[in-house]
Amino acid sequence: MQFKVLRGDTILKILLATAALFIIGLVVALAAELFLGSASSIHSFGPSFLIGTQWRSSQNVFGALPFIYGTLLTSAIAIVIGFPISLGVAIFISEKLKGHQTFGYGLGIIVDLLAAVPSVIYGLWGVFILIPLLRDYVETPLHNSLGFIPLFSGNPFGYDFFTSGVLLAIMVIPTMSAVTRDVLSVVPNSQREAMYSLGATDWEVTQKSVLPYARSGIFGGFILGLGRAFGETMAVTMVIGNIPNITTNLFSAGATLSSLIANNFGESTGIYQSAIIEIGLILFFVALLVNGLARFMLWRMTSGARGRA
Amino acid sequence: MKSTYVIIAAIVVIAIIIGGVFGYIALSNSSNTSPTPAPTTAPTVAPGSTATPTPTPTSHPSTSASPSPTPTPTATPAPTPIPTLAPAVLNGAGGTLIAPLMSVWQPAYQQAMSQITVNYNPVGSGAGITQFTQQVVDFGESDAPMTAAQYNGLPSGTTAITIPISASAVVPAYNLKLANGTVMTNGLNFTGAVLANIFLGSITTWNDPAIQALQSPSVAAQLPSTTITTVHRSDGSGTMFAFVNFLYRSSSTWATQVGVPSTSPSWPTAPAQIAAPKNAGVAGAISSKDGAIGPLEIAYILENTGQTSLYYGTVANAAGNYILANVSNIGAALQAGASSGLPAGNASWTTVSMIDNTYTNTTATTMYPIVTLTYALVYQAQTNYVQGAALVNFMSWIVNSSQNLGTGLGYVPLPANIVAVDNASLKLVTYNGTPILH
């Protein structure tokens, strides 16, 4: 026993630890590089960078607010449209298709497939199909009938916050519905049976027993979807119109943090590049925050479920 | 098992703290930090040189033209004419304008010089200059010549050589349904001032008297009251540089409101305005919206003949003639713009813009006014003979033997006087103080 040979388990442990440390190192390096790259921008513009509304690169005037606004607004539209749909899909599959496992399974796969489509394909589809469709059959009628509401007051031309939001909604549905489905499927049957034994209808069981039981997990899925919407770049860049704008009018072109980076990083130099890297830093922190929140909610869900079971 | 997790968690916390400290330090002495996240050491040699037999001793290119005191690794002095070229891989990066032509050049050059492979990465003009400055590519490419600030960013002691390699034109492309329901085809007339007012947002409908006044009576009567939607590039672009430069020269209002031309101009706010990525994005946006207009590189239109909703207009030149861009009238602009005053390859080319030289030229009556040169960038002092010889050979081949390959895409062969300047520039490229080409 004096010459203890490195056993398989030990080697495995070392390998796994290395892999884990590598990822951690990567994240740290990423953050450090973003800090370093944006240092001169942070130094010269300070907090005014965050609240400035003008972005004029040729005059070195940089304000990130229109892009933060665009990111938040398009993500909000995506959530408002996408969340009810994914909730509906998840409830349908896990509650209504209980007796038809194969069909439910197939439907779940189809929804998940949406997540496998590359975002540039969504962008192309958005440009050639979604934009004309929304412009002619949704935006124009809304504008004509409800144009007095500031949300719909603009002249609709398709490349705008609304289209980006709808496209994002389609892209976040698989994320949100998959998590929601998983959460609903771990709700113990005893919960449902108890409600049924009291004479509740299907909807009452879902509404009063299943959803409350799973609500923190559903919220976790919601946050993950939001994180996806924040970070999505290519598809949004192709349909948002890329004009920095702060307006309540949904039918107006806008820009997001990620679309700004995608558009301008390649041509940037000096302080301009530093400003764009600072935009990346802002996005990094927003994404970190959102994902952290999601982890926290999921952790609460699992520990909560164990507590109750 | 538990303890392992605790250790990993502890390492995570420590790593995050170190990251935070690192970031804080970076911020606190940020006053003289370079904004570019450049690696602390420059890449030892340009990529691709691994296949070369010559070892490179120094990590930084020795840049002085005078013989350096450092011993040369091999006894290879620069031979006089190019001998048989050794196998090499040339990597380039730069503007997207030249990318379609570059993809024609690459296989053609491979046929002529099978031992040399050329890779080109169309990352955009600005990124091309950045990668050239960081010495990660053998040649850079840009639609706008390097600015004074970009020259200052070069590694100390190095000299960049600017080589115009091709030229193209920017056209006002539109999608417009006339009042009688037919589609407006090629040939709507524009002047620089009217285009400037459209993009400034002061002309907002197609039947504006300022636009009507430029058209023949039959077209003018049919112009609809459709709102003008302006479309421009969302990413930085040499195509936009040329277009904005033309507006800058043509309209004093534009000059005061928007300022000096740049690849990422600060576009004024027009009432209906969108920006889309790349030429393809601009073309897609224009063709999807009735009443849209935007600047497009002509190669894109010529590549897409048969588009039902995308047409382009004429632009008035200094002589007052409305010219619909084609290879011959773009060539006329090159002749007029490059007739004199071309700098040497190792000098700054910022003063050279076809538009600067032609926007007041009234004698070239047939020229198309919005024409742009596109440039390759190489270092004057090459640090690796094999790479340098291959690079000079490739550039020389582009300039002298393959200018006609792009005419079908709207790229115009360089006139003889630019070719002469290019050849003189290529002779400036040295290895170890001796010109590679004689």
Output the six-digit token pair for B384: 């690796």
In the predicted model, is pLDDT for residue B246 greater than 50? yes
With 0-12 / 13-18 / 19 or more C-beta atoms within 10 angstroms meaning exposed / middle / buried, residue B113 is middle
**Where does the pLDDT of residue B220 fall: very low under 50, low under 70, confident under 90, or very high at 90 and above?**
very high
The number of angstroms, rounded, from the C-alpha of A78 to the middle of its chain's C-alpha atoms is: 8
Average pLDDT of chain B to the nearest whole number: 80
For residue B385, report the phi and psi dihedrals to the nearest 5 degrees. -60, -40
Torsion sign (Cα): B141, B146, B152, B153: negative
Residue in chain A closest to B262 (alpha carbons) equals A58
The shortest CB-CB distance from B274 to any of A39, A157, A272 is to: A157
Q: At what angle do helices A211-231 and A257-264 cross, to 10 degrees?
A: 30
- When pLDDT is averaged across residues B118-140 and rounded to a whole number, the result is 89
Contact A264 B235 (CB under 8 A): yes
Torsion sign (Cα): A263, A266, A267, A270: positive
Q: What one-character-per-residue DSSP string does B291-302 give?
A: TEEEEEEHHHHH
User: For position B15, what pLDDT does the model report?
Assistant: 61
- When pLDDT is averaged across residues B254-277 and rounded to a whole number, the result is 86
Give contacts of A 19-38 with B, CB under 8 A.
Answer: 20-21, 24-25, 27-28, 31-33, 35-38
In the predicted model, is pLDDT for residue B348 greater than 90? no
CB contact set of B233 (below 8 Å; sequence gap of 6+) = B239, B240, B275, B276, B277, B278, B279, B281, B282, B295
In the predicted model, is pLDDT for residue A286 greater than 80? yes
Q: Which residues of B touch A159 (CB under 8 A)?
A: 274, 276, 285
The shortest CB-CB distance from A267 to any of B34, B125, B271 is to: B125
Considering the domain A47-308 in this protein, what is its CATH number? 1.10.3720.10
pLDDT in tens, A101-150: 788 888 888 888 888 889 889 998 998 899 989 988 998 899 888 888 88
Contact A40 B8 (CB under 8 A): no
Of B120, B69, B76, nearest to B98 (Cα)?
B120
Identify the residue among B235, B240, B262, B310 best suited for mutation to test binding to A, counting A beta carbons within 10 A and taking the highest.
Answer: B235
Contact A40 B27 (CB under 8 A): no
In the predicted model, is pLDDT for residue A257 greater than 90? yes
Contact A264 B272 (CB under 8 A): no
**Where does the pLDDT of residue B43 fall: very low under 50, low under 70, confident under 90, or very high at 90 and above?**
very low
User: For position B26, what pLDDT does the model report?
Assistant: 52
- Rounded Cα gap, residues A39 and B382, in angstroms: 33
Q: Which residues of A touch B227 (CB under 8 A)?
A: 155
The shortest CB-CB distance from B275 to any of A241, A272, A274 is to: A241
Contact B259 A127 (CB under 8 A): no
In the predicted model, is pLDDT for residue A96 greater than 50? yes
| Beta-bridge partners for B230 | B273, B293
- Rounded Cα gap, residues B130 and B154, in angstroms: 9
User: For position B62, what pLDDT does the model report?
Assistant: 40
- Rounded Cα gap, residues B253 and B210, in angstroms: 16
In the predicted model, is pLDDT for residue B73 greater than 80? no
- Rounded Cα gap, residues A42 and B181, in angstroms: 54
For residue B382, report the phi and psi dihedrals to the nearest 5 degrees. -85, 140
For residue B288, report the phi and psi dihedrals to the nearest 5 degrees. -95, -5
Output the six-digit token pair for A132: 């004309």
pLDDT in tens, A204-233: 999 888 998 888 888 888 888 988 898 898
Q: What is the dihedral of CA A248, A250, A252, A257, to 10 degrees?
A: 80
Q: For residue A130, give the 3-state DSSP assignment.
A: helix
User: For position B399, what pLDDT does the model report?
Assistant: 94
Q: Which residues of A touch B244 (CB under 8 A)?
A: none
Q: Can you tell me which residue has the tokens 């509650």?
A: A95
- When pLDDT is averaged across residues A255-270 and rounded to a whole number, the result is 85
- Rounded Cα gap, residues A191 and B101, in angstroms: 67
User: For position B252, what pLDDT does the model report?
Assistant: 92
Contact A242 B274 (CB under 8 A): yes
User: For position B34, what pLDDT does the model report?
Assistant: 39
- Rounded Cα gap, residues B329 and B384, in angstroms: 42
Amino acid, single-letter form, for residue A88 = G
Question: Does the CB of A58 have a partner CB in chain B at under 8 Å?
Answer: yes
In the predicted model, is pLDDT for residue B74 greater than 50? no
Q: Can you tell me which residue has the tokens 């904005």?
A: B244
Amino acid, single-letter form, for residue B214 = L
Using alpha carbons only, give the angle A90, A94, A100 rounded to the nearest 5 degrees.
125
- Rounded Cα gap, residues A106 and A112, in angstroms: 10
Q: What is the β-pairing status of strands B229-233 and B292-297?
A: parallel
Of B113, B220, B292, nearest to A132 (Cα)?
B292
How far A92 CA sits from the closest chain B CA (Å)?
Answer: 37
In the predicted model, is pLDDT for residue B77 greater than 60? no
Q: What percent of chain B has pLDDT over 70?
A: 79
Using alpha carbons only, give the angle B410, B414, B418 rounded to the nearest 5 degrees.
155
Q: Which residues of A touch B271 (CB under 8 A)?
A: 155
User: For position B433, what pLDDT does the model report?
Assistant: 86
The shortest CB-CB distance from B130 to any of A36, A269, A271 is to: A269
Residue in chain B closest to A259 (alpha carbons) equals B234
Residues B159 and B63 sit within 8 Å (Cβ to Cβ): yes
- When pLDDT is averaged across residues B121-147 and rounded to a whole number, the result is 88
Q: Give chain B's radius of gyration (CA, Å).
A: 25
- When pLDDT is averaged across residues B356-361 and rounded to a whole number, the result is 74
Residue in chain A closest to B27 (alpha carbons) equals A39
Residue in chain B closest to A9 (alpha carbons) equals B1
User: For position B68, what pLDDT does the model report?
Assistant: 40
| Beta-bridge partners for B140 | B93, B377
- Rounded Cα gap, residues A269 and A276, in angstroms: 10
With 0-12 / 13-18 / 19 or more C-beta atoms within 10 angstroms meaning exposed / middle / buried, residue A125 is middle
Contact A266 B262 (CB under 8 A): no
Question: Does the CB of A45 have a partner CB in chain B at under 8 Å?
Answer: no
- Rounded Cα gap, residues A213 and A195, in angstroms: 13
For residue A298, report the phi and psi dihedrals to the nearest 5 degrees. -65, -40
Output the six-digit token pair for B232: 């421009």
Contact A267 B30 (CB under 8 A): no
In the predicted model, is pLDDT for residue B46 greater than 70? no
CB pairs under 8 A between A and B: 157
Give contacts of A 265-304 with B, CB under 8 A.
Answer: 265-274, 277
Identify the residue among B227, B244, B288 best suited for mutation to test binding to A, counting A beta carbons within 10 A and taking the highest.
Answer: B288
DSSP state of A147: T
In the predicted model, is pLDDT for residue A271 greater than 60? yes
The number of angstroms, rounded, from the C-alpha of B330 to the middle of its chain's C-alpha atoms is: 17
Of B116, B150, B43, nearest to B375 (Cα)?
B150
Question: Does the CB of A237 have a partner CB in chain B at under 8 Å?
Answer: yes
pLDDT in tens, B283-313: 888 988 889 999 998 888 877 655 567 899 9
Contact A59 B266 (CB under 8 A): yes
The shortest CB-CB distance from A263 to any of B26, B272, B277 is to: B277
> How many Cβ atoms are within 10 Å of B274's Cβ, its own excluded?
29
Contact B277 A242 (CB under 8 A): yes
Domain boundaries, chain A: 1-37, 47-308
- Lowest mean pLDDT across A179-188, A291-300, B178-187, B287-296: A291-300
Of A28, A40, A70, A62, nearest to A284 (Cα)?
A28
> How many Cβ atoms are within 10 Å of B207's Cβ, its own excluded?
14
Contact B19 A28 (CB under 8 A): yes
Residue in chain A closest to B281 (alpha carbons) equals A238
**Where does the pLDDT of residue B409 fall: very low under 50, low under 70, confident under 90, or very high at 90 and above?**
confident
Residues B430 and B65 sit within 8 Å (Cβ to Cβ): yes
**Where does the pLDDT of residue B157 fall: very low under 50, low under 70, confident under 90, or very high at 90 and above?**
confident
Residues B236 and B305 sit within 8 Å (Cβ to Cβ): no
With 0-12 / 13-18 / 19 or more C-beta atoms within 10 angstroms meaning exposed / middle / buried, residue B63 is middle
Helix H or strand E segment including B170 = strand B160-175
Contact B235 A17 (CB under 8 A): no
CB contact set of B109 (below 8 Å; sequence gap of 6+) = B116, B118, B394, B397, B398, B402
- When pLDDT is averaged across residues B419-431 and rounded to a whole number, the result is 92
3-state secondary structure B59-117: CCCCCCCCCCCCCCCCCCCCCCCCCCCCCEEEEEECCCCCHHHHHHHHHHHHHHCCCEE
**Where does the pLDDT of residue B221 fall: very low under 50, low under 70, confident under 90, or very high at 90 and above?**
very high
Contact A155 B26 (CB under 8 A): no
Write down the pTM of the prediction. Answer: 0.74
User: For position B91, what pLDDT does the model report?
Assistant: 94
